[in-house]
Structure 1
């Protein structure tokens, strides 16, 4: 199930899912689905590197991508976990494709969180005073 927008958590005052810290790469492998058909598969390449495939990935990180289908692309690349003490871990996506052909800057940083006990990936878009969350849930 995907969430296009999410309210602030009542207990922490945070916008979106509860951030998670100290995750391992193996905790994150799998396919995640998001708004308007966006999909992200995180995998182990088997040679001590990790890769991803993005399908129907939004060509922009503008909050409008939550409301309507926007230009999208398919791409591959590598990813890494970036710790942010006190704010949870993030995943940095490095696309292999030439970014000069894109209209905007795609979402390339996702926070690791939990919703209903399950790992989700998300990014807060736009004005921090308005809770707008691009969220991807792992497929079973």
Structure 2
């Protein structure tokens, strides 16, 4: 499907089905879907961004961050893959989304307007 028909189809669809910003971004293809069977245990680990942000997710539901504006340094995190139009992962006050596989997941957040498809990626350190 060419770009113009794809955009026209997306706009027509958006008039019929209300979506939040993140849902819209996934529909346009700039934000990859997470693995459907990913679990909290799969996500546990340390993730870093090229900008120097660091997120550590514990299997016990606790997290810690450093060099991550807009996020509390410590707290609890929760996974919610049932909602197709909101974040996949919440660090109390910070929304994140998940991509990759169960064996190699990565996290991202939007840098500005989600429709611009600018992602800040966090890859697990191994």
TM-score class normalised by the smaller sequence = 0.5 to 0.7
Q: 1:132 to 1:28 in 2, by over 3 A?
A: same
Counterparts of 1:110-121 in structure 2, within 5 Å, are: 110-114=96-100, 118-121=104-107
- Following TM superposition, by how much is the alpha carbon of 1:125 offset from its aligned partner in structure 2, in angstroms? 3.3
- Following TM superposition, by how much is the alpha carbon of 1:58 offset from its aligned partner in structure 2, in angstroms? 1.8
Quote the residue 1:133 is aligned against.
119
Tell me how many residue pairs correspond in the alignment: 101
Report the structure, 1 or 2, having the larger helix content: 2
TM-score, normalised with respect to structure 1: 0.59
Whether contact under 8 Å (2:57, 2:64) holds in the other structure is yes
Q: 1:114 to 1:20 in 2, by over 3 A?
A: same
Query: Which structure is larger by alpha-carbon Rg, 1 or 2?
Result: 2
Whether contact under 8 Å (1:19, 1:89) holds in the other structure is no
Q: Alignment partner for residue 15 of structure 1, among 30, 47, 51?
A: 30
Which ranges of 4 or more aligned residues in structure 1 deviate by more than 6 Å? Answer: none
| Separation in 2, partners of 1:118, 1:38 | 19
- Following TM superposition, by how much is the alpha carbon of 1:85 offset from its aligned partner in structure 2, in angstroms? 4.6
Residue 53 (1) aligns with residue 64 (2): yes
| Separation in 1, partners of 2:85, 2:72 | 29
Quote the residue 1:34 is aligned against.
49
Report the structure, 1 or 2, having the larger strand content: 1
- Following TM superposition, by how much is the alpha carbon of 1:37 offset from its aligned partner in structure 2, in angstroms? 0.9
Q: Which of 1 and 2 has higher RCO (CA within 8 Å, sep 6+)?
A: 1
CA deviation string 1:12-45 (max 9, x = no partner): 8511444332321100010000132100000134
| Separation in 1, partners of 2:110, 2:121 | 9
TM-score, normalised with respect to structure 2: 0.65
